[in-house]
Structure 1
């Protein structure tokens, strides 16, 4: 019997009651991304009593995050988002269990991270990571609760719910490295991700409790500037489902390859004759890493540049944190390149080892 007064107001609801609250306490939800969307998702799930929450984020808190990522304060700047978010939601509800993964979600660590979870919440802003989350979720046959934001608008949906449509059904993958602008480039109204993240948390609770109408096969579009909402229906695409299952199964069953280089292995690779080292950051980003075999090709230009390369050519990629270089690695491998590596945690992991 649940004696905690914390949940009494929602347990009064006949759709929830003590049975529903126990379902929440037993649930296992993985939140990928502890930023603008992830913060309200984590706050709401923890407060509602979702008993087992996983947090995946390899980033650190920055002052530019604070207008929208309300789990963090000025004193948290420079600290791990995953660790800081864990502390914050345990202060909200110390009775839940929280597991953290202070790393970015990749094909290399996906199998280890998702193993115990029943629902995945996509709170990322990277298109390549969304396809990865989708494929893993499809292969595991668990729901993916999705949202994305842009300036004053956002959208929410639930994929892979009870054999429903997937992310690929709505957004067939383009084998391209064209980049969708993120908040840092296009800006965002601070309250917007909090609104959309709350929508995501609502869908998670409905899925766990088995109540209401879940946004499966439906895309909710929210226009904050004009306070308008629209729901668009979209169908299931069996071919896209099959593609997701194949990709996801390969990811979940893959053996760990040494694609992620440590700083030591990175320096060793860079000194090897014939290796091309590609910096996929934008031209203005620092610190600069120089070398006779180092070229700077921003991620958006890599697709065109790669056409000039031999697919047997050994390539080492790097960026600031490892996210863009992982995206570049995935693209090159899909394109048939056989000797591709990247600096796993980006140039930031080199600390004082470069001038």
Structure 2
């Protein structure tokens, strides 16, 4: 149940209401980076009632952070940012859940970290990590709310939203991008990341609530020194999307050494967006297993049906005991599908779910 008193001033908005507040309560948002951008994002998402927030950061608080990273105080210097930020937002709103990832986001942990989340907020300042976030998000079909800051200026956009443009569409990968200066090298006005981070949090809430105009295919430019804003439109680049998707799926397949899902892993995948579940049993078999992304395709007709599927689509197969789904998995892999899994012991392993 939502806390109507805590959220009363936003529930009263006709665009939100109690149903919208429930959407916020049930949402899962991953914030990568708990620095200048991450702090205001985390504060605002927690205050709005986003139900589960993940925080990824392997850094520690330093005194030079304090003029812009307002979740931290002098007593926090030397402490891990992710843990400290989690404690701070839980103190402000103890009704939410927070998951801490006290390490940097990299290719070794990327898919494990993002697996349970519906939206990623990119609050990093490393170009290579931004490409990694983009590619992982493409493979998982997760929208990314992006921002970056420099001196007195910032920019915000939303990538991979409803099959829209990606980070690579706006910023094609080039040599030398890692040489772009960070805040440490070039400086930043302390208030700037708090302004831009609030813009990011606003986009997250709009995506969850399905309201307003999301900055997909649009780059918002903000000049705090002269108080000027500009929006630049950009379009989807199929080659850039394909490149990111391939890189993301290659990484996914490298990490997914076990294609045989346990009952627990299968149920976790049901929570993920963009995954297709294919029941290869005969239509009359029971128990029935229905869901928004569940398709009933008997094994005998899978070959014909597979011609309609995207070979980059993540697919989970299941049957009664796992034998037919294993056969189906082998067939799809041999046909060039790259993201295929199956429920190793079949629906029988989910018996407790039907009692």
Structure 1 and Structure 2 fold alike (TM over 0.5): yes
> Which structure 2 residue ranges, 5 or more long, are not aligned?
258-355
Find the counterpart in structure 2 of residue 179 from structure 1: 179
**1:291-327 CA distance string (max 9 Å, x none):** xxxxxxxxxxxxxxxxxxxxxxxxxxxxxxxxxxxxx
Find the counterpart in structure 2 of residue 46 from structure 1: 46
Q: By how many angstroms is 1:130 displaced?
A: 0.2
Find the counterpart in structure 1 of residue 227 from structure 2: 227
> Which structure 1 residue ranges, 5 or more long, are not aligned?
258-355
Q: By how many angstroms is 1:4 displaced?
A: 3.6
Q: Hey, what's the Cα distance between the residues in 2 that align with 1:250 and 1:44? A: 35
Instruction: Tell me the C-alpha RMSD between the 2 structures.
Output: 1.2
**1:261-315 CA distance string (max 9 Å, x none):** xxxxxxxxxxxxxxxxxxxxxxxxxxxxxxxxxxxxxxxxxxxxxxxxxxxxxxx
Superposition pairs for residues 1-355 of structure 1, below 5 Å? 1-176=1-176, 178-255=178-255
Q: By how many angstroms is 1:254 displaced?
A: 1.6
**1:228-284 CA distance string (max 9 Å, x none):** 000000010000000111111122222389xxxxxxxxxxxxxxxxxxxxxxxxxxx
The answer to whether the Cα contact below 8 Å between 1:28 and 1:119 also exists between their aligned partners in 2 is yes
The answer to whether the Cα contact below 8 Å between 1:31 and 1:123 also exists between their aligned partners in 2 is yes
Q: Hey, what's the Cα distance between the residues in 2 that align with 1:12 and 1:177? A: 46
Q: Write out the 4+ residue segments of structure 1 that deviate beyond 4 Å after TM superposition.
A: none
SS at match of 2:60: coil
The answer to whether the Cα contact below 8 Å between 2:127 and 2:178 also exists between their aligned partners in 1 is no
The answer to whether the Cα contact below 8 Å between 2:28 and 2:117 also exists between their aligned partners in 1 is yes
Q: Hey, what's the Cα distance between the residues in 1 that align with 2:67 and 2:7? A: 29
The answer to whether the Cα contact below 8 Å between 1:49 and 1:96 also exists between their aligned partners in 2 is yes
Q: By how many angstroms is 1:177 displaced?
A: 5.8
Q: Across the two proteins, how many residue pairs are aligned to each other?
A: 257
Q: Hey, what's the Cα distance between the residues in 1 that align with 2:174 and 2:24? A: 37
SS at match of 1:215: coil
The answer to whether the Cα contact below 8 Å between 1:108 and 1:256 also exists between their aligned partners in 2 is no
Q: Hey, what's the Cα distance between the residues in 2 that align with 1:133 and 1:243? A: 13
SS at match of 1:100: strand
The answer to whether the Cα contact below 8 Å between 2:33 and 2:123 also exists between their aligned partners in 1 is yes
Moved more, 156-165 or 171-180: 171-180
Q: Hey, what's the Cα distance between the residues in 2 that align with 1:83 and 1:132? A: 23
